[in-house]
Amino acid sequence: MATRIITFLGLGSPSKPNRYDDIVYRTVTGCRYGPTPMHDVPAIAEADGPVHLNVLGTDDVVGFWFDQEERFRHLLASGLGPHSVALPEITVHVIPRCRNESERWQLFQLVVDLLEPTCLGPETEVPTAQIVDVTHGFRSAPVLAVAALSFVHQDRVRRSGKGVSWPQLRVLYSEVPSGSTEGTVEDLSHVLEASRWNIAVSDLMSHGRADALAGLLMNSKATDLGTKARAFADGLVTGRAPDVVMHHAKALREVVKRFTRKQTLLPPIRAQLERLMDWLEPLSADDAISPGGVRASLALVERALYLQRFSEAVALLREALVDIWTLDRLTGTPIAILQPANRFKRRPDEPDPFKEQRRRMEDGLRVAHKQAELHRTAPALIPQLFGEIGDLRNDVEHCGYRSHPRAPKEIRDQIRNSLEKVRAAFELIGSHLTGANEVPTAQTCFTNCSNHPSATWTPEQTSAALALGHGPILDEPFPPVPPAADTEALQRLADETAARILSRPCAAAFVAGEHSLTFALVRRLQGAGIPCYVATTERVSTEAVQPDGSIKKTSHFRFVTWRRYPEL
């Protein structure tokens, strides 16, 4: 065991015999040291193993304290003597005065370098503890030292839990009230502890990684928390949605709840763990294929989007659609029978009932999508979404090896858009689902009668459509109008299209296409009490100078709002 101490040294006051007052220092252990003008005495006396003291001072400070008289070593030895502590190994570092940015970065880097465990200098072994004392820091030096310490600390937290053992880090500050001869050595290391927990919890919530949290708890009595966090993160990163929903999210939330109840925690740490519990709550359900399981799966899609794991997001979104279809088509079936087969014991030679059930449901969705069947109820939404999301998933899984791959932003926007539409569809058919009496229901939909499938809308346009309050979006392609069609043919086409729209629970419609048919459709829908809307856009243009000096102008249209048609 060995300890490395990094401390600042100033000139003190020339009016005082030893430049600093003789102070009796009391530490957190209750021990008293002094009287002595050397505030480093308590840290050295209580350190484990041999000590290497790194003294940081400007050129004039070093010149005064470490001249031929060796004032610093003499006073330090005098302060340590009554406690039978030997004078430590001392290394002096001349530091800049921090008068400009360059000098401040020099000090920052010096502290970082001194905190590198393998930077031994005259030490004979790697330190097991490192202490930074900022008592005599000047100007911005204490802030820079703590910033460097935090920088090193965060790097160590992110690399913890991988067989790497780091020295313990501590921050000390000796406080002496004005005019007093007694002072307190304050241990500010709890700031680092709070930072470490913040990094660990944020890593799990922002990146889906539990290494830092498991490493933080490795040598504590709360290893169960680290184990549950790893199981949850592994399930998340490998896309084991049923296990995450039914087991890991719930188990991790429960162990965090017990930990916060039993442990005495710093307020910032408790707040972080409470935030983690809130984050986990929507991801839990008793059964994967159930109304609650669908909600949890859609929450997992939201998390995957936040983590920028788009392949997982679109794959899980497709599975959630199959779950909704299963619940709708097998209404009345006991929830337990619908769950993945690995929940039930069966002989190796028995067929897998869940696999067969899943195959039948997916085949049914494919047939419904290919035949473009037009139901009078909400389930017509599901085959439509299944086709849209299936094509999007294939594009993502083929990694761009397609004739016309989507652009990254288009993929991101379409997944977000599809998630909103699946949520709306789930609400619409909630009253039909097995055990779904708690799911909010909707009775109407917003019909998109245009040549712009809602799958291609921006998230802003989709959200604005849902915000109108007419229900989820259901596509009804705007029919082609033959150029030679006369008025009578146009009227028949308008009647047929309006009849299809009105055969559904339509509460409002977006109508856009060939002008004469649009006029006829809007009149018929308004006559049936259906408000109609048009999407307003603005042209956004950018210019870029090409290598040959020419200017290329690119334009695209940005959705602005929904405008209601006046009564015709």
Are the beta carbons of 538 and 475 closer than 8 angstroms?
no
Nearest C-alpha neighbor of 55 from the set 132, 138, 112 = 132
Are the beta carbons of 234 and 214 closer than 8 angstroms?
no
Tell me the mean pLDDT per 10 residues along the chain, length 568.
Answer: 93 91 93 94 93 95 88 94 91 93 94 82 75 91 90 77 74 92 92 84 89 77 86 91 93 92 84 93 91 92 91 93 83 70 54 73 76 48 84 90 90 91 80 44 76 82 85 87 93 92 89 96 93 92 79 82 92
Q: Which helix (H) or strand (E) holds 386?
A: helix 381-397
Exposure string for 299-333, b = 16+ CB within 10 A, e = fewer: bbbbbbbebebbebbbbbbbbbbbbbbbbbbbeee
**CB contact set of 88 (below 8 Å; sequence gap of 6+):** 5, 44, 50, 51, 52, 53
Nearest C-alpha neighbor of 166 from the set 158, 174, 178 = 158
C-alpha of 549 from chain center:
44
Predicted confidence at residue 222, as pLDDT, reads 75
Predicted confidence at residue 161, as pLDDT, reads 54
Neighbours of 375 (CB within 10 A): 13
Question: Distance between CA 516 and CA 481 in Å, rounded?
Answer: 9
**Whether residue 35 has a cis bond before it, omega within 30° of 0:** yes
Strands lying side by side in the sheet with 506-511: 473-475, 445-449, 506-511, 532-545, 551-564
Options 1.10.287, 2.60.120, 3.30.450, 3.40.50; CATH for 446-568 is: 3.40.50
Q: Which two tokens stand for residue 564?
A: 């209601």
In CATH terms, are 3-188 and 446-568 the same topology?
A: yes
Sign of CA dihedral 381, 383, 386, 387: negative
Q: What is the DSSP string of 358-385?
A: HHHHHHHHHHHHHTT---SSGGGHHHHH
Q: Which two tokens stand for residue 44?
A: 């050295």
- CATH class of the domain at 3-188: alpha beta
Each domain of the chain, given as residue ranges in start order, spans 3-188, 197-279, 312-443, 446-568
Predicted confidence at residue 121, as pLDDT, reads 58
Question: Environment class of residue 437 by beta-carbon count within 10 Å: exposed (0-12), middle (13-18) or buried (19+)?
Answer: exposed
Phi-psi region of 98 (alpha: psi -120 to 50; beta: other; left: phi over 0): left
Biggest CA-to-CA distance, the chain: 113
Neighbours of 247 (CB within 10 A): 17
Locus of tokens 């502590």? 85
Question: Distance between CA 130 and CA 125 in Å, rounded?
Answer: 13
Q: Contacts by 113-119 with C-beta closer than 8 Å and gap 24+? A: 114/4, 114/6, 114/54, 115/6, 115/148, 115/149, 115/152, 115/169, 117/166, 117/167
Question: Distance between CA 534 and CA 231 in Å, rounded?
Answer: 49
